[in-house]
Structure 1
Amino acid sequence: MTFKVLLIDDEPGALEGMQLWVDWRSIGFEVCGTGSNGVEGLQLIKELEPDLVVTDVNMPLMNGLEMIAAWQAEQSSDVRFVIISGYSEFEYAQKALRFGVSHYLLKPIISGEAEEELAEIHEELVQEKEKQGMTQIALYEEIVSQLKELLQVELPGQRRVEPQRENTVLDRLSQVRDKWNFCLVQTEEASFADLRGKAAALLYEEEAMYLIDLDMNRFGIVYGDFPGEGGERDSCRILEELARLYAGQRVFMAIGEGTDDLLQIGHSYQTAREAIMHKFYDTAYDRIYRYEQTAKQSLNYRYDQLAAVEGIIGAFTLLDQAAYREAVDSAARSFRELLVAPEIVKKVVIHMMCIIMEYFKETGETKAKLLFEKYELPGLSDSVFILSDLMDLLRSCGTEGIELLLQEQSRKSQGMVHKINDYILEHYRERLTLKKLGEMFYMHPAYLGQLLLRKNGISFNELIHNLRIEEAVRLLGQSQLKNSEIAELVGYSHYGQFFKQFEARMRMSPNEYKNTMF
């Protein structure tokens, strides 16, 4: 541990000798400056803030003892002093004891003796620093503990008990700054420890800034300002720096309404909690939200989710990706326009994703489990999401589900389509329709029609007509049946329809075809 030392003597040779003869660095000191009299020494102590001052006693303008007395009268900060005197000035050393100066060096300075004395002082400074550190830690913990008590949420119908103001630590601390406020930080569970650590490192040794641990992956920063004098800008700078450290992470930061009384910091905390809920409707994570932005806006806790759920799930069950995306976008617009409370939105989204997950089970348990883990349903209610990202999650979940279901249906339908085509080959002479086939094979007629088109390359109706005309051509060449009888045998109830379909495919009429055969 290195400490700063200031050297003061009116003899330039003595100053140079102290710098050259004493190995300051080896005993844990660094010379930060030199002065030639007590007046100059006082000014240098204020500017350089040394830990130790080594001063001659007998100097012009203001001697060393006068300088020590003047500094101690100001009580600006703790500084240790060592006086230098000769044997003939020993009475000065005795007088210095009254000022609490217990160390002195005799002229002429002998480097070995001086270093031994200064090494002892260094050890005292180390012990004092450690003691101060422990005291500061204890005081910090006491302040944090009392602040946490002020953040307790008031229960309905309960009157808050005001803390005692007399001689309390917080009452004294409140007077250190003109304004106090609360910055609330909410993180993901997985990143909470890392992000809290970054905040603690940034706030280390910052004055009037206290880190408060809360629940649900949240912590807060109580901070004091001097509005209008640069203090507010300093605290904002630190909070903005923290936001930059969190760049790329899903983190919410919100500042409450300031108060001039630290004992009312609970109000700042409550308003920060309101602000962080509105952060849900922001368009990015890296901005700090302020209560002033939302003071006149109220969140809606009454929302009829039926229409949104029906629209989204309806499009999903039809396996219509375009309609599904539009339904999700519509729900997002509705949430934003009505300012639906984030916890309500999350419940709606979780409900819809659970319904979708049930459909996933049709693709096999392994795939369903993987998707369940991918979309983090168990921790979604406590997660940090802005609305757009949450709806992106729902959109991705549904479109991926539709794709999987389509793949699964396609796989299953490969075997089914052969059965359907076999049935058509046996019954094309009957009044077959897609609706009738759909009922028989438990498929939606529209989906069945698309399936047959992909498999056969032609539509269902074209397939029926082709099969009928092929059979008619065979009968025309092998029997003496009338054309109307053949038309009825292959499945046409009206001869005109048979004639039209035959001519379209054979590029001639049934009679013309007969003439070519005989």
Structure 2
Amino acid sequence: MRFKVLLIDDEPGALEGMQLWIDWEKLGFEVCGTCSNGAEGLKVMAELSPDLVVTDVNMPLMSGLEMIEEWQKNGNKKISFAIISGYSEFEYARKAMRYGITHYLLKPVEPEEAAEELRKIYSELLHEAEEQQWSEIASLEEQVFLIRQLLENCPGSEREYPDSLSTLSASREAWNICLILTEPAMYAELRGITAGLIAQEQAMFLIDLEMNRLGIVFGYSPDQGQADGICRVLAEFSVRYNGQRVVVAIGAPEESLLHLANCYRTAEEALKFKFYDPDYPGVISYASIKNRHFQYHYDPIRLVDNAMEALTLLNAAGYHETVTAEANLFRELPLAPEIVKKALFHLMYKMKEYMEDSLGKKASEALVKLDFSALDASVMGLNEFLSLLLSFGDECIDLLSEEQELKSQGIVQEINEYIREHYREGLTIKKLAERFYLHPVYLGQLLMKKNGVGFNEWVHNLRIEEASRLLLENKHKNSEIAEQVGYVNYSQFLKQFEKRMGMSPGEYKSRN
């Protein structure tokens, strides 16, 4: 640590000698200036704010002791002093002790003696600096503790606070809070960076809040542009966290720090609207949303029923359409973020249960990303929740389709054998689906994939194939054959026969 020292002497040669023959840098000092009398010294001390002043005692216009007396009398910043005097001026040294000055250099100044005395002074200054630092830390921690209590204060509360808090409040004309929310994994890094950014700012305090959020409480004087400090901090945020999940909101200002709870409440309200804003680094203020209001009533039954129906039918397009339509509705209302999350989590739970029931251990591949506690603490906006839900649905449908494909390889043969045995009856896809516990739409898709034609078309093929065989036997009338193969209406039999054979049943019989 290096301390600033000011040299004062009316003899130019003495000043030059002190600068040349004393290794100030090695001793932990930096000469910040020089002057030639006490009157000039008072002015330079006010301008340069040195930590140590080494001054001659006997000088024209104003002596060194007069200068020290004037400085201390006016309650200025505490400065350490070391006086320079000759043997014949011992009375000056004794008088200096009344001002708390204990460091005394004899003229002519010897470098070795000066160095020894300056080491003692450096040690004292270092100790004072450490004590001052600890005092400031303790004072700051006390202020932060009291400010946290203010955030818990209810409007209209008559709670009493220490005078130090009122004094701090009066130091600025306006107060506000900036809320910063991020992912739990990023919180420690963001907090450290924030602490560094506000360290050099005045009337600005870092407050740790619940979970993964923190607050910057800042005071400013609007007419003097003292809100520049928070602007600098937020500008740095925009650069550092561009595109990352860091959400920032500013509340409505209050004239008194004691009303900080109102600032916090309005900042929280503004923070919620970032749920619909995909631009993470942007700052949202309460002033921009104070006339907007959330809806809190929403029944998730339609969303859950339609999405689950699409899932069970392995209808990815229908699933996307349902979820996207509801997300658009959320935006239009707009629906309060906590209600949106509750609805989406409800759907995810239903999907999770269905996957576990359908796939058992195989479901873990899709479910691994559903850490509901992490999702609840996340700062993800609606766009990211929508993307997660859509991709989750796609994965579920893909896994269910693969499982159905594996199962269908065994069951489709059984179904086809059943159809061959019962095609003469009034067989329908619905009856077949009920018998094999499959959804009619899925069963139709399964048979189409296996047989190359739809269910109805294949049943007609089997019937006409059998009819052709019976016609060649020439033992029954055409109408009887039609009835035997499953047609209750002869005209329908005729239509299907001509479609497949290119001729009527009579022509087929005569030709063969």
Normalized against structure 2, the TM-score is what? 0.90
Conserved? CA contact 2:424–2:486, under 8 Å: yes
Q: Which moved more, 1:201-210 or 1:228-237?
A: 201-210
Alignment gaps of 5+ in structure 2: none
* CA apart distance, 1:125: 0.7
CA distance in 1, matches of 2:417, 2:68: 111
The equivalent of 1:117 in structure 2 is 117
Conserved? CA contact 1:347–1:381, under 8 Å: no
Q: Which moved more, 1:127-136 or 1:13-22?
A: 13-22
Helix, strand or coil at the partner of 1:183 = strand
> Could you give the per-residue CA deviations for residues 218-239 of structure 1, whole angstroms, max 9, x where no partner exists?
3222211121213111232224
Task: Establish whether residue 160 from structure 1 lines up as the match of residue 149 from structure 2.
Answer: no
The equivalent of 2:308 in structure 1 is 313
* CA apart distance, 1:513: 4.7
1:4 counterpart letter in structure 2 = K
Change (3 A) 1:312 1:483: closer
Helix, strand or coil at the partner of 1:408 = helix
> Could you give the per-residue CA deviations for residues 58-115 of structure 1, whole angstroms, max 9, x where no partner exists?
4455443344344334434222222223334444333333333321222222111111
Task: Establish whether residue 269 from structure 1 lines up as the match of residue 270 from structure 2.
Answer: no
Conserved? CA contact 1:438–1:445, under 8 Å: yes
> Could you give the per-residue CA deviations for residues 193-243 of structure 1, whole angstroms, max 9, x where no partner exists?
332232223223532112222223332222111212131112322244345
1:455 counterpart letter in structure 2 = K
User: 1:183-332 to 2 correspondence within 5 Å?
Assistant: 183-242=178-237, 244-332=239-327
Q: Which moved more, 1:83-92 or 1:321-330?
A: 83-92
The equivalent of 2:35 in structure 1 is 35
Change (3 A) 1:262 1:153: closer
The equivalent of 1:169 in structure 2 is 164
Q: Which moved more, 1:506-515 or 1:404-413?
A: 506-515
1:190 counterpart letter in structure 2 = A
CA distance in 2, matches of 1:53, 1:198: 37
Change (3 A) 1:264 1:500: closer
Helix, strand or coil at the partner of 2:152 = coil
The equivalent of 2:406 in structure 1 is 411
Change (3 A) 1:298 1:456: same
Conserved? CA contact 2:313–2:441, under 8 Å: no
The equivalent of 1:64 in structure 2 is 64
* CA apart distance, 1:126: 0.8
Task: Establish whether residue 433 from structure 1 lines up as the match of residue 389 from structure 2.
Answer: no
The equivalent of 1:398 in structure 2 is 393
> Could you give the per-residue CA deviations for residues 29-78 of structure 1, whole angstroms, max 9, x where no partner exists?
22333334445544443443322222333445544334434433443422
* CA apart distance, 1:499: 4.3
* CA apart distance, 1:272: 2.0
The equivalent of 2:142 in structure 1 is 142
1:341 counterpart letter in structure 2 = A
Conserved? CA contact 2:179–2:249, under 8 Å: yes
Q: CA RMSD in A?
A: 2.8
CA distance in 1, matches of 2:309, 2:498: 44
Conserved? CA contact 1:350–1:380, under 8 Å: no
CA distance in 2, matches of 1:40, 1:391: 71
CA distance in 1, matches of 2:260, 2:499: 87
CA distance in 2, matches of 1:142, 1:173: 12
Conserved? CA contact 2:366–2:395, under 8 Å: no
CA distance in 1, matches of 2:256, 2:426: 87
CA distance in 2, matches of 1:472, 1:305: 54
Conserved? CA contact 1:343–1:381, under 8 Å: no
Change (3 A) 1:459 1:212: same
Change (3 A) 1:357 1:135: same
CA distance in 2, matches of 1:445, 1:310: 18
Task: Establish whether residue 105 from structure 1 lines up as the match of residue 105 from structure 2.
Answer: yes
2:375 counterpart letter in structure 1 = L
Task: Establish whether residue 6 from structure 1 lines up as the match of residue 13 from structure 2.
Answer: no
> Could you give the per-residue CA deviations for residues 322-348 of structure 1, whole angstroms, max 9, x where no partner exists?
222222222222222223222222211
Q: Which moved more, 1:347-356 or 1:231-240?
A: 231-240
Helix, strand or coil at the partner of 1:374 = coil
1:285 counterpart letter in structure 2 = Y
CA distance in 2, matches of 1:363, 1:9: 93
Count of matched residue positions in the alignment of Structure 1 and Structure 2: 512
* CA apart distance, 1:116: 0.8
Change (3 A) 1:263 1:482: closer
CA distance in 2, matches of 1:200, 1:247: 19
The equivalent of 2:49 in structure 1 is 49
Aligned residues with identical type, % of pairs: 53
Change (3 A) 1:353 1:40: same
Helix, strand or coil at the partner of 2:26 = helix
* CA apart distance, 1:176: 1.9
CA distance in 2, matches of 1:318, 1:359: 12
1:160 counterpart letter in structure 2 = S
1:293 counterpart letter in structure 2 = S
2:141 counterpart letter in structure 1 = E
* CA apart distance, 1:6: 2.6
Normalized against structure 1, the TM-score is what? 0.89
Conserved? CA contact 1:375–1:393, under 8 Å: no
Helix, strand or coil at the partner of 1:364 = helix
Conserved? CA contact 2:180–2:214, under 8 Å: yes
Conserved? CA contact 2:6–2:34, under 8 Å: yes
Q: Which moved more, 1:383-392 or 1:486-495?
A: 486-495
Conserved? CA contact 2:169–2:258, under 8 Å: yes
* CA apart distance, 1:244: 4.2
The equivalent of 1:131 in structure 2 is 131
Helix, strand or coil at the partner of 1:360 = helix
Task: Establish whether residue 18 from structure 1 lines up as the match of residue 15 from structure 2.
Answer: no
Conserved? CA contact 2:173–2:221, under 8 Å: yes
Change (3 A) 1:78 1:247: farther
CA distance in 2, matches of 1:466, 1:122: 106
Conserved? CA contact 2:53–2:82, under 8 Å: yes
CA distance in 1, matches of 2:50, 2:201: 20
The equivalent of 1:92 in structure 2 is 92
The equivalent of 2:175 in structure 1 is 180
* CA apart distance, 1:351: 1.0
